């Protein structure tokens, strides 16, 4: 496994998520289960993603951090598949991430469970 941090996909805004077109699409597709029903509303607060990657670069687990560095949530979990882990089209190269150790990742993962994320 590899571990790293990215700021990619941290440009969501509340305005975009509340845009009438997004709300209309959600209403039309209400019968399709959402991948991240509990955490989607938190995307505008995410400023960094801490990722656990398979050896070939595919996201396995993720932790979302706020601007303050506090943990917002971790996925996958019982109801949320995750942002990166659900989108199986992004394979990360080592140079695309700021590397961290497995211990740092595990520490953040445990911290996320303490905040109920």
How many domains, the chain?
1
Give residue 116's pLDDT band: very low, low, confident or very high (50, 70, 90). low
Those residues with Cβ within 8 angstroms of residue 18's Cβ, 6 or more apart along the chain or in another chain: none
- 112 φ, ψ (degrees, to nearest 5): -65, -35
Range of the domain at 14: 2-114
Give residue 37's pLDDT band: very low, low, confident or very high (50, 70, 90). confident
Residue 73: strand, helix, or coil: strand
DSSP β-bridge partners for residue 74: 63
Does this model's pTM top 0.95?
no
């Amino acid at each position: 496994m590899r571990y790293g941090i990215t700021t990619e996909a941290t440009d969501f805004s509340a305005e975009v998520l509340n845009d009438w077109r997004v709300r209309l699409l959600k209403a039309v597709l209400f019968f399709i289960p959402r991948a991240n029903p509990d955490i989607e509303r938190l995307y505008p607060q995410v400023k960094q993603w801490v990722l656990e990657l398979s050896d070939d670069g595919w996201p396995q687990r993720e932790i979302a951090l706020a601007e303050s560095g506090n943990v917002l949530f971790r996925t996958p979990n019982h109801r949320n598949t995750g942002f990166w882990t659900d989108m199986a089209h992004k394979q990360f190269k080592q140079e695309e991430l700021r590397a961290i150790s497995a211990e740092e990742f595990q520490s953040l993962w445990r911290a996320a469970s303490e905040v109920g994320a």
